[in-house]
A and B are shown apart, each in its own frame.
Chain A
Amino acid sequence: MKRYFAVLLGILTAIGGFVDIGDLVTNAQVGARLGMSLVWVVVLGVVGICVFAEMSGRIAAVSHRATFDLVRERLGPGMGLLNLVGSMLVTMLTFIAEIGGVALALQLVSSLHHLLIVPFVAVAVWIVLWRAKFSAIENVLGLMGLALIAFAVALWQLGPDWGELVSGLSPAEKPGAESWATYAFFGVALFGAAMTPYEVFFFSSGGVEERWTSKDLGVMRANVFIGFPLGGLLSVAIAGCAATLFLPQGIAVETLGQVGLPVAVALGKVGLAVVVLGFFAATFGAACETGLSTGYSLAQYFGFPWGKFVRPKEAAGFHIILLVTTVIAAGVLLTGVDPIMVTEISVVFSAVALPLTYFPILVVANDPDYLGEHVNGRLANALGVFYLVVLTVAALAAIPLMVVTSMGQG
């Protein structure tokens, strides 16, 4: 019974924890401008993150190595440092965006300007990172994040023409007003948001934190293969809501309030309250995950003790990094930069950083020295190689598309 409960809890937190500010904003923007014609990219991204999260989780369970250990062990110090700098920039941008997202969510209920809320959010995030237990962070915020299911309910209540919505899934249904370059730009952004590297840093480091062994492989796979796709469905529901409400009116999504508006329209005040709770949990949870990921990456690259499974005193360097990154994130937000714009930039740059993170995972997942009998099978390898090609194309295309489309404005 306890075992089933653990599996269920894992799946539920994986669903609730899957969506972060990048998914919220990008899916709503894409739904409003391009309808359902990019849902296939969400599917592609979700399958991709499942493939690599399972590999990194398996490596963490069997050999107790987190992802950034592997990055340095396989790429060496030089390429590893390049990856470290790239991923730190992306994770830092995401961390800033998530803290900004929490502040924006609280602005929706308090009507205070989000800049006034940012310092309090930053302090709260730091206290949680310092004091709270790893499992508590994951479970409480993951379960609260399930409130985002309100988007699925809202989509049903909005009563779209389902036939039209489904036929809109084809890329050929791209609205004529948008160019193919814009379409490709948002495709890359959605892909970057779904496969953002901090997810595997956090997932694998979490596996080491929770002391997974090869006995936990089943639970880990259930979390990944059931939880992540259901989380992906929430992403699609967000896009569907925006496509139903905003696309016919030609309204662009520019604020977090607009992302939640379809729920308010469909479900009224209660729906809005639920979805704001969902925003808060999703962004706060992801702020903790990205904050921890900056500490994990640096500590694993340089080789000093890390994690919440040792006492803060024993991982002083790790906790100093967490404190410094939180202060930097709050500082950047206090300059008045728009968190939504930071989010847009972070998902594009995460697409650039993808190959250097996922390549070493694929190589080590085939190495019997790490995994013994648990090395990749044919399917995992075929998918891994396929995604390596897709990741490389997305990484190369990201910056040119960003320039050509002026961040999707053109």
Chain B
Amino acid sequence: MGSLAEREGYDVGLHLLDRQIIGSDDRLIGKVDDVELLLDDDGSLVPTALLVGLPALLPRFGRHLGARLSGAHRLVRAAAADQALPLVVGFDIVDDVSSEVRLSEPAYGLLHRMSHERAQDPRRCRVGSLLGTPVRCDALPRRSKVLDLRLVGAPGQPGEHRVTALLVGPGRPGALFGYDRSSEPGPAVVAAVIQWLHRHARVVELGPGVDVDHEAGEVRIGPEASLEPLRG
């Protein structure tokens, strides 16, 4: 099993979210409940942290259920000011992304709460809130959403992890089950059904014409951006 990051980049939703985080001492730290992204002024998206804990997981259950569950979780200990803040693992200590996320530091005492300033920073957003964001684009069906984010970057090498492309199309984030990635996906019947369901999905490179507007809660894709089919 080679590292995913070394091979051909990886998809945040498919390869990073919900995976186990293992410390350098082989201890289980938790699951990647969400990933924090930094929206740079030049429009680039850089992953900055893995978020762990119910405050990171619960909002991912959708706008209505997620908000209710998060609200209920706050009430569990309403007096605690940090009850709604997730635990943070800096992305700089991610050593490898394979079928697990391996860190370069031991597990003991590694997690710390996110600060209030960081949680309110408008330049930061979470992958969980970005997935499923409506996409406005004339070339795509109207119900299109952000299905996944494609990342490049190998740990310990020059250059950092950054988002290079968005997977967009109608459907539900996570419902591709990885059938857009491998060259000979099996079983053929399942692959055919899933690929047919996602026949309108496209990959769009981040760059001119692609505007991720987190505050307005939408992604706008202009005519100058190129939409590629999922595989090929």
Q: Say whether A and B bind each other.
A: yes
A interface list, Cβ under 8 A from B = 63, 65, 69, 72-78, 80-81, 302-305, 362-363, 366-370, 372, 375-376, 381-382, 384-385, 388
In the assembled complex, which residues on chain A have CB atoms less than 8 Å from the CB atom of B99? 63, 65, 369-370
For A69, the closest partner residue in chain B by CB is B20
Q: Is the CB of A74 within 8 A of B189?
A: no
**CB-contact partner of A376 in B15, B62, B187, under 8 A:** B187
Q: Is the CB of B20 within 8 A of A81?
A: no
Interface residues in B1-28 by Cβ distance below 8 A to A read 1, 4, 15, 17-21, 27-28
The docked-state distance in angstroms from the alpha carbon of A302 to that of B29 is: 11
Q: Which 9 pairs across A and B sit closest by C-beta, in order of nearness?
A: A303-B31, A381-B187, A76-B174, A366-B186, A303-B30, A73-B18, A385-B187, A72-B18, A63-B99
Contact mask B46-60 → A, CB, 8 Å, 1/0?
A: 000000100001001
In the assembled complex, which residues on chain B have CB atoms less than 8 Å from the CB atom of A382? 187
Interface residues in B163-192 by Cβ distance below 8 A to A read 173-174, 177-178, 182, 185-190
For B57, the closest partner residue in chain A by CB is A77
In the assembled complex, which residues on chain A have CB atoms less than 8 Å from the CB atom of B4? 369
Interface residues in B41-95 by Cβ distance below 8 A to A read 52, 57, 60-62, 65
Q: Is the CB of A74 within 8 A of B177?
A: yes
In the assembled complex, which residues on chain A have CB atoms less than 8 Å from the CB atom of B18? 72-73, 76-77, 80
16 A-B pairs within 8 Å (CB atoms) are namely: A69-B20, A72-B18, A73-B18, A76-B18, A76-B60, A78-B65, A303-B31, A304-B30, A305-B28, A363-B178, A363-B190, A367-B178, A368-B1, A369-B178, A370-B99, A385-B190
Q: Is the CB of A366 within 8 A of B187?
A: yes
Interface residue? B129 (CB, 8 A): no
Interface residue? B226 (CB, 8 A): no
The docked-state distance in angstroms from the alpha carbon of A388 to that of B186 is: 14
**CB-contact partner of A303 in B20, B173, B177, under 8 A:** B20
In the assembled complex, which residues on chain A have CB atoms less than 8 Å from the CB atom of B21? 303
In the assembled complex, which residues on chain A have CB atoms less than 8 Å from the CB atom of B182? 366-368
From residue B103, how far is it (CB to closest CB) to chain A in Å?
Answer: 14
For A305, the closest partner residue in chain B by CB is B28
In the assembled complex, which residues on chain A have CB atoms less than 8 Å from the CB atom of B174? 75-76
From residue A321, how far is it (CB to closest CB) to chain B in Å?
Answer: 16
The docked-state distance in angstroms from the alpha carbon of A382 to that of B190 is: 11
The docked-state distance in angstroms from the alpha carbon of A74 to that of B18 is: 8
The docked-state distance in angstroms from the alpha carbon of A80 to that of B98 is: 21
The docked-state distance in angstroms from the alpha carbon of A305 to that of B30 is: 8
In the assembled complex, which residues on chain A have CB atoms less than 8 Å from the CB atom of B173? 76
From residue A330, how far is it (CB to closest CB) to chain B in Å?
Answer: 27
In the assembled complex, which residues on chain B have CB atoms less than 8 Å from the CB atom of A63? 1, 99
Q: Is the CB of A385 within 8 A of B185?
A: no
From residue B67, how far is it (CB to closest CB) to chain A in Å?
Answer: 14
Q: Is the CB of B15 within 8 A of A369?
A: yes
